[in-house]
Structure 1
C-alpha cells in the first residue's frame, strides 16, 4: 500500500467502515485520470479488511474480484471505499464494495474471499 500512499480509515456510528485515499498526480494515467489499478487497489484493500473482520479475524485470500468502472476520477479527488460482507460461510466470504468521489459513484466491485483456517 505504500506505493499508492497512506489510506485513511474511519467507522461511522452504524459500524460501517470506510477507507479513503487522497489522490494526486502519482495516481494519474496517460489520460490524466486516476489509474484503474489505483482504484482497484483501494477497493481490494477495503474488501480484504471487511473479509478479515467477517471471518473472525482469520486471514483471507482473494478467489475472485470483479471491478466495474462507472465514472472517471481526476487527481486531487478524495476517494472513499466502503465494503460490506453479503454472506459468510465456514470457508468463504462474499463481499460488495463501492468507491465514491464525494457522492459520485466511481467504481463497484464484488469479491469472493477464502478464509484460511489453522489446521490442527
Structure 2
C-alpha cells in the first residue's frame, strides 16, 4: 500500500477510535471530523465544530478546547510517524490570535516538521471555517516510545 493510502486508512481508524471508541472521553466529545491528510507533507487536517459545552464566559470557544483540538490533530500525526510506538505529548505551546464563535467549525492542520527515532516536532494552524481567518497556532513535541523495550 502506498504512503498516502496508508495514511488515509490510519486517519479513518483514528477518527473511528476518537468518535466511537472514546465517545465518552474528551476526544469523543470534541466531535472531530476528517478534513484530509497528506503523506508527502506529513500533515493531517481535522475539523472541530464549536459546541456549547466548549464555550467560555464570552461565548467563544474556550482556550482549553482549542488546545485540546491541537493536541488531537498533532497526536494523530505523531502516532502515524511513530508507527507501532507510543507517542506521548512532551510539550504544546499555543498562541491564540482571535476568537472562534459557537456554531463555527475550527479546522486544525498539523504538520510534522521533524520526525526522528525519539522525537517528532509538529506545527499546527487553526482557522475558522466560516471566515477563513487564522484563529491560533501551536508548536508541539512528541516522544516516540519503543513499546517493545519500555512500558507505558
Quick check: TM above 0.5?
yes
CA contact (8 A) 2:44 2:76 kept: no
Decide which structure has greater helix share.
2
* 1:67 and 2:94 are equivalent in the alignment: yes
Distance in 1 between residues matched to 2:99 and 2:128, nearest whole Å: 9
What are structure 1's unaligned runs of at least 5 residues?
none
Distance in 2 between residues matched to 1:52 and 1:2, nearest whole Å: 18
1:2 is displaced (CA, Å) by 2.7
The aligned residue for residue 111 of structure 1 is: 140
Distance in 1 between residues matched to 2:51 and 2:91, nearest whole Å: 29
Q: Deviations over 1:18-38 (max 9, x none)?
A: 111111221111111110011
Structure with higher RCO (Cα < 8 A, 6+ apart): 1
RMSD of aligned residue pairs (Cα, Å) = 1.6
1:59 is displaced (CA, Å) by 1.7
Q: Deviations over 1:56-94 (max 9, x none)?
A: 242200111100001111101111111000001110001
Decide which structure has greater strand share.
1
TM-score, length-scaled by structure 2: 0.72
Distance in 2 between residues matched to 1:50 and 1:3, nearest whole Å: 20
Q: 1:10 aligns with which of 28, 32, 35?
A: 35
The aligned residue for residue 17 of structure 2 is: none
Distance in 1 between residues matched to 2:119 and 2:111, nearest whole Å: 14
Number of equivalent positions: 118
SS at match of 2:88: strand
TM-score, length-scaled by structure 1: 0.90
What are structure 2's unaligned runs of at least 5 residues?
1-26
Q: Deviations over 1:75-120 (max 9, x none)?
A: 0111111100000111000110111102211010001100011218
